[in-house]
Structure 1
């Protein structure tokens, strides 16, 4: 029997780089060369570049028990079929109290953003992990030094293209009871796994929530105190220069009384702003079409919250999809896909044994949290 001709390696690599991660994990079993190829960090970068062109890889991780993942860019048919919309994952052993335990290392969990398929998970503002839920790998980072336990903390995870490394940023602000009001900023580079303190934010600027990585910088919604008035702006932290800067003020149309209802997000290559999150009566979305240009803020839609099916208590917009839908977290109990053009919504209630789930928007990737550490150790051996 005549054997089939062997495809050139570059064609095989090109084909494999376009496949979903779940199939690539299975294909590792085909042969040792394929196992080596798919496990190669350089192939992970190639696959990541392909994934970023295709927003289908964007998902919402529902951190609860069981751990589940839902497709952001789900079609209308998929929204009616739970088997296509969502699948179950498992927590990595590194984040459990013991390898065989069902409990995580701490019940108090916070999120520090996501980048390239990695999610920054913070337990009790002490233990920090980088976690890729798709390949079920996690790495615990060096512990942070002590800080005011009643202070407020914001985290961000981003990529430094100049050093091919990931960075975690923590911004810590002491509580009013502490005499000093100095904001402390610390940065960890994954290759060194070492925290170092850098220059903090200017006085009067307070950031909120987790950092959004875009255009080589981490972005936060921030309040800026100028005399008796407080203004809201978007600030960014440049991953290479390690400096904070103001990107743009929020739209003038957003009333001051609604500033505490704002959530910063991302849509494609643009920043977006959701107004009316929490307990707001009106939900709006704004898109910054041109980075750094205030006049480019464009309102995408405005809808009365009472018209959205499934809303019971609190709601938070998670992302604005390429198909024009908004994925909304309703009180940590339901996910809603709202189509503002058609004025329709579909609700999904996950299997949740906890009181609520913690959502994290991420993309599926092969990027390992150990990748930069491995690269660093390999380079050390070469010297």
Structure 2
């Protein structure tokens, strides 16, 4: 027998062959960067990692792993800056954001167009794209920063506004996912109509008109009342704060599956405080309502059953003294996520930038990390994914 042949057979006997099911399980716990590199190992692994079922499994597991959670700061245009949660928790009192992470990314926009971030879901970021010379026609684009993939322009939307300022002020777009049809959807709310667009289609569908005005404070509210607010995606629904006909604050929840909406009241104990309007957030897969008390503190309510107003439960009550902060006109504070052992991660806005406050409710202990870049406007709880924007 040829010596080289004998050596080859001996080597083959030493190889360990793992069943595909086990390989899938192991790979599904790895971060996106590692999986991107492992695609090149074998054709079989590339097939596994590219499979839609594997991509969904990986996303489900990633969203439950706090080690993979990031705070994603998104600019008003097309820049993003990710901050791994573990890094923020273990690196207090940083004054320069570049010390935490220098992986700033850009969508590489067309210089002739303006890009405006409208939402994030399943690792995808959605932007509306328009030209200042042709703002009456808007397009959209999806971007996965983890895989560096982006979609072509889609979903042309026409409007009748006569100037760019009215268009930006009175038009609201939101982005979410409909599990029942495995479809990403964009919600549009204008002064006289509400529409939904399904990604992959070519028609904007009219749905029931909301008789409310959204609390989009960045574009609409007077400067002295401006605070941080945004819509929240949760379990096939897009949720946002609004004022009803009586000018009371309500929560609108749009079901992307049924394409209907419901109007929900905030907790009964909520009393509006001048200059500091409430916000909503998602913590531990529950919708939360967050508001200031009169010069004393900050309260977070959790809706244990989405849509059931009686299920509002006070989750956290934090005093300004415990947080070592002073209230200012341009101050806002909103919770981003809950970390293990009851640690709440809260992002606060100061006059000179964004600041992360890590608050331990068991002993009122806090740690702070300043993200000093003024460019960032939208902070998001974000998990990378393999989901394709195509």
State whether TM-score is above 0.5: yes
Q: Is residue 206 of structure 2 the alignment partner of residue 198 of structure 1?
A: yes
For 1:317, the equivalent position in structure 2 comes to: 334
Matches within 5 A, 1:303-314: 303-305=318-320, 307-309=322-324, 313-314=330-331
How big is the shift at 1:291? 2.3
Gaps spanning 5+ residues in structure 1: where? 99-104, 174-181, 371-383
2:146 maps to which of 134, 137, 140: 134
- Is 1:345 aligned with 2:354? no
Relative distance call for 1:280 and 1:10 in structure 2 (3 A) is: farther
Aligned-residue Cα RMSD (Å) equals 3.1
Contact 1:213/1:219, CA 8 A, preserved across alignment: yes
Q: Report deviation, 1:91.
A: 1.8
| Cα distance, 1:114 vs structure 2 | 1.7
Find the aligned partners of 2:244 and 2:147 in 1 and give their Cα distance.
Answer: 40
- Check whether the contact 2:174–2:186 (CA below 8 A) recurs between aligned residues: yes
Q: What does residue range 45-84 of structure 1 map to in structure 2 within 5 Å?
A: 45-64=56-75, 67-72=80-85, 76-79=89-92
**Residue 269 of structure 1 corresponds to which residue in structure 2?**
285
Is residue 329–residue 359 contact of structure 1 (8 Å, CA) maintained in 2?
A: no
1:37 pairs, out of 40, 48, 53, with: 48
The structure 2 residue matched to 1:292, chosen from 287, 300, 307, is: 307
The answer to whether 1:231 aligns with 2:248 is yes
Counterpart CA distance in 2 for 1:113 and 1:185 is: 17
Aligned to 2:106, the other structure's residue is in SS state: coil
Distance 1:217 1:38, change over 3 A: same
Deviation for aligned residue 1:270: 0.5
Match of 1:178 in 2: none
Partner of 1:11, secondary structure, is helix
- Distance across 2 between alignment mates of 1:294 and 1:350: 36
Give the whole-Å Cα distance in 2 for the aligned partners of 1:215 and 1:66.
Answer: 27
CA distance in 1, matches of 2:389, 2:175: 12
Q: CA separation in 2, counterparts of 1:303 and 1:79?
A: 20
Which of 87, 100, 107 is the matching residue for 1:92? Answer: 107
Q: Which structure 2 residues correspond to residues 236-275 of structure 1 after superposition, within 5 A?
A: 236-246=253-263, 248-258=264-274, 261-275=277-291
Q: Which 5+ residue runs of structure 2 have no aligned equivalent?
A: 1-10, 217-229
- TM-aligned CA distance change 1:283 to 1:264, over 3 Å: same
Match for residue 162 of structure 1?
A: 180
For 2:155, what is the secondary structure of its paired residue?
coil
Give 1:171's aligned residue: 189
1:49 deviates by 1.7
The 8 Å contact of residues 120 and 129 in structure 1, kept in 2 or not, is answered as yes
Distance in structure 1 (CA, Å) of the matches to 2:154 and 2:377: 24
Contact 1:187 1:198 in 2 (8 A): yes
Which residue pairs with 2:5 in the alignment? none
Alpha-carbon contact 1:282-1:305 (below 8 Å) kept: yes
CA contact (8 A) 2:194 2:210 kept: no
Q: How many residues align?
A: 344
**How far did residue 73 of structure 1 move?**
5.9
- 1:203-248 CA-partner distances (Å, limit 9, x unpaired): 3x223344322122111112212xxx322222211112111112x3
Q: Which has the larger radius of gyration?
A: 2
CA apart distance, 1:18: 1.1
CA distance in 2, matches of 1:89, 1:34: 30
* Pairwise CA distance, 1:56: 3.7
User: Deviation per CA, 1:36-57, whole angstroms, max 9, x where unpaired?
Assistant: 3323333211211222332443
Q: 1:316 to 1:31 in 2, by over 3 A?
A: same
SS at match of 1:286: strand
C-alpha deviation, 1:318, in angstroms: 4.4
- The alpha carbon displacement at 1:137 in A equals 2.0
Aligned pair in 2 of structure 1 residues 164, 59: CA closer, same or farther (>3 Å)?
Answer: same
